[in-house]
Chains A and B, each alone.
Chain A
Amino acid sequence: MESKFHRVSLFLPCLADAFYPRWGQAAQKILQAAGVEVFYPPDQTCCGQWAVNTGNLKAARRLAQHFLRVFYQASAVVSLSGSCVSTVRHHYPQLFAAESRWQSRAAAVAGKIYEISEFLVSVLGHSDFNAYYPTKATLHDSCHTLRSLGIKQPPRELLAKVQGLELLEMDDPETCCGFGGAFMAQVPTLSRSMAGDKVDQALATGADLLVFTEPGCLLNVDSVIRARGLSLQAKHLVEVLAEGINATPN
């Protein structure tokens, strides 16, 4: 399929920027493999989701304005977080209802920001990276990726094309993992209980790898996996694909 996007701008969520910078390189590699040039605007900061979710709309507006300045002229913006994309797509236009110039910028960027699996599969039509990653894996459906953006199949399609990878389904892949941003810090016991159940469900599938499309979810659940000393691995979808591109079957 011929892509109308030759060059996209990469938006790296702040959690990924700080804790998992290797995802930025992985994302670049995958997008390039899909035939798209990747530009990383160096002035990007944070989309302001945390401010929206805690009810601080004035703070959210500031962060949104900077975001829009940085990404306004991109042909498309691709990100590694469904919740960040949802913030831009659904909340930004409402932040500026009263101010027409910012409102139109928000609407413009809202219309061209994508979560990476939806961009690869639904926009580019590119789901096969000739990747090899032999493992048993299961996927967690992040709440915003699933319910705000309606993305259920694209990550599965990408994983299905990875050679050697057997994709198993948890009983309740769509149940919230308990990150919820500030929630994890405000009600840590509830958060931990929810993360623990997600880990139990992953283990029950027999998978060795738990795949995420959302940095917050991974951070939350992985912290419990490691506390339990399990061999179960937690990775972002882009890590799996990027590592798979390098590898060759024996």
Chain B
Amino acid sequence: MLPPTDPKAFGDVVRQALEKDYLKGGLGRATALLRTLRRTGAADFGEFETLRVQARDVKDKTLARLDYYLAKLEDNVSARGGHVFWAVDGQEVVNYILELAKSRRLSKVVKGKSMVSEEIRLNTYLEQAGLEVLETDLGEFIIQLTGEKPAHILGPAIHKTRQEIGRLFAEKLGHPYSDVPAELTQMARARLRNNFLTADLGITGVNLAVAETGTLVLLENEGNIRMSTTLPRVHVAIMGLEKIVPCMADLAVLLRILPLSATGQRLPAYVSWLHGPGRTQGEGPEEFHLIILDNFRTRLLADPILRPMLRCLRCAACLNFCPIYQRLSGHSYPSVYSGPMGVILTAASHGLDTAQNVIQACTLCQACKQVCPVMIDLPGLILELRRRLTEEDQWAGGAVDLLARFLATPAGFDLATSAMALMNKTAFDRQGQPRWPSDKLQALAEGRHLPVMAERPFHKWFNKD
């Protein structure tokens, strides 16, 4: 269930999030740990800033010839016996998979964590059509049990404490309560093991695809991707069309920076290099399908200012460093993407109106910009979105322009200051509480003693002398 996007309703969404106090819970602790890991990982690596520039350049040159590289990828995947399908939107992905399931008689799906599949709400449609869909990433496994949407793009259940998970597993998996992480993991593993062995369709995302060789690279720490891509008879990988690099040398750059940015690791526990269906019996899946998804990505590609957003590696560093994300969690954002990257992707996928609240809910602190491994100027893009929003609003734009005309003259500035001082005196009492019954003033004054403007502003004091 996505939260409402109406500006008035957003105030309630924020209030509810603050009441949950994500900062003090699992989310706050986990993101603090991830920040520390990323800082020390980057410092240990040494040449991190150089790597960022290299990563940005790899991505930009790929985006400049995206059609060429995607065509090359298709050729090379096909040459190795894989099937490639180009999907315009989520519905086409769903239809393709349902058709595949029907014709190959597939009924039980194991899923590796895939934000793209969340984006298109794949599970819902597959389940409606009668398929059994089982998440295998531990975080996704947990939120599948609770019915929540991801709270973080890398750690979907990041907000959950081990006590909460212990209670959940006791209830849903029928084990006696424990909150010891190793024991909880074993409980999930036992369930997942059986799922891997009995599933006939594995669906995953793709971290990076190499055009030159037709290789798909998948990164993980848990081993569920390994299981999901080799045990079931059919493997379907869904990739956003921007997840491509030209060659292995370019891949090496991104493979260095992505794990460092995400978790401070040099490499995750498993790096899988997939080349299509197995050649001999027992070696990998019988069939392999690669679905290349557009959805809104070509819109971004065509946008000269927003195009850099397609560099995004989905490392979640911007989420971990965003003081607003940490208070809201992914549950408060209008789409499955959250944090600074989520603001821009939501605007691209759902439009400015849906994204407007989160576009405004940013202090432009630039913490995200500093850590983005591919140097996306996230605050700059948010400013651009604000510019586009104001362009739409002719009325407000006219009023603002009038105000600016005023403030751009010394006499107007002086008048505005005096008017503000008068308002300041009459609107608020000595304790800084509003005299007028205004919701906005009330909200602003709550928990604060707002300052009173000085008797004489500096420019009056100075000019009197």
Contact = CB atoms under 8 A, between A and B. Distances in A.
B358 to A, nearest CB: 10
A223 B361 contact: no
Nearest to A191: B363
B383 interface: yes
Contacts of B449: 223, 226-227
B458 A17 contact: yes
Interface stretch (A54-62, A71-79, A151-159, A204-212): A54-62
Interface string B390-404: 110000010011011
A130 B11 CA distance: 49
A148 interface: yes
A123 interface: no
Contacts of B383: 52-53, 55
Interface stretch (A36-44, A100-108, A109-117, A160-168): A36-44
B451 A55 contact: no
Nearest to A187: B361
Interface of A, helix, strand, loop or mixed by DSSP: helix
Contact of B363 (A42, A55, A143, A226): A143
A66 B411 CA distance: 12
A109 to B, nearest CB: 16
Interface stretch (B62-70, B147-155, B310-318, B364-372): B364-372
A59 B404 contact: yes
Contacts of B370: 147
B421 A183 contact: no
B61 interface: no
Interface string B452-465: 01101111011100
B404 A189 contact: no
Contacts of B327: 190, 193-194
A143 B379 CA distance: 12
B176 interface: no
Given A59-B401, A189-B14, A226-B449, A179 B363 contact: yes
A71 to B, nearest CB: 13
B-side interface size class: 35 or more
Given A18-B454, A21-B457, A60-B404, A190 B361 contact: yes
Given A45-B413, A143-B366, A192-B446, A182 B360 contact: yes
B401 A223 contact: no
A18 B417 contact: yes
Interface residues of A, number: 64
Contact of B18 (A62, A63, A186, A190): A190
A102 B15 CA distance: 45
A127 to B, nearest CB: 25
B386 interface: yes
A143 B327 CA distance: 18
Given A51-B404, A180-B362, A189 B443 contact: yes
A183 B361 contact: yes
Chain B CB within 10 A, most for which of A17, A55, A63, A176:
A55
A40 B448 contact: no
Interface string B366-391: 11011000000000000111111111
B361 A186 contact: yes
Interface in B1-40: 10-11, 14-15, 18, 23
A135 interface: no
Interface in B421-465: 421, 432, 440, 443-444, 446-451, 453-454, 456-459, 461-463
18 contacts: A19-B453, A21-B456, A45-B409, A45-B413, A53-B383, A55-B390, A56-B387, A58-B404, A65-B408, A187-B10, A187-B14, A188-B444, A189-B443, A190-B18, A190-B328, A223-B449, A226-B448, A227-B449
